[in-house]
Homo-oligomer: A and B are copies of this chain.
C-alpha cells in the first residue's frame, strides 16, 4: 500500500467519474464486511461529496438532497455525514465547518488537510505515522492524545495559476 505516484488528489486532473464509482464500491464492500448499512441516503451523500471533491457544509449537502426530493431537515444530512465520518468515508474540516469525502477510505491513515481558501478544494496529505511531533511534548505534560488533526490553508495549484 505504498503511496502511489499516480494516486489522484483533488488538485490533479483525474478521471473523476471513475474515482466516484470506485470509492463508492469500496465503501460498499467495507460496509458489507463490517455489517454496516450504506442506506440510499448515506450512499447519496457520499456520492455528493465525491462529486464535489471539495469541502461542503452540511447545509450544502442538505440542499442537494432536498433538490432530489430526499428530504429537507438538517438531521437528515447530519446523520448521514456522521455515519460517513465515523466510519472513515469522510472527514470533517473543523476550520470550515464542512465535510469532505475521504481520499483513502478503509486505509487507517492520519490525514492532514490542505485546504484551498479560494475554491475550498481539499487534498489529504499523509503524516508519517512514526512522527510523534506532538506526542513527546504532550506526554511530558501528562496529556493523553486521543486524536489530532492538522489543517493547512493556502492556495491550490489551479487557483494559483488562475490567480
Binary contact readout A117-134 vs B (1 if CB under 8 angstroms, 0 otherwise): 100000101111001011
Contact B150 A144 (CB under 8 A): no
Closest CB in chain B relative to A111 CB, distance in Å = 11
Can you list 20 pairs linking A and B with CB atoms under 8 Å apart? A11-B141, A95-B149, A112-B133, A112-B134, A114-B138, A117-B146, A123-B141, A125-B137, A128-B133, A142-B156, A142-B157, A142-B160, A143-B155, A144-B154, A145-B154, A146-B154, A146-B155, A147-B152, A148-B150, A148-B153
A137 to chain B, nearest CB (A): 5
A11 and B141 alpha carbons, distance in the complex (Å): 7
Tallying the copies of this chain within the complex gives 2
- New A-B pairs, 12, CB < 8 Å, besides A133-B133, A147-B153, A148-B151: A9-B141, A11-B143, A127-B133, A127-B134, A131-B133, A134-B152, A143-B155, A144-B154, A144-B155, A145-B152, A146-B152, A148-B153
A152 to chain B, nearest CB (A): 4
- Determine the distance from Cα of A149 to Cα of B125 in the docked complex, in whole angstroms: 14
Q: Which B residues lie within 8 Å of A160 (CB)?
A: 142, 144
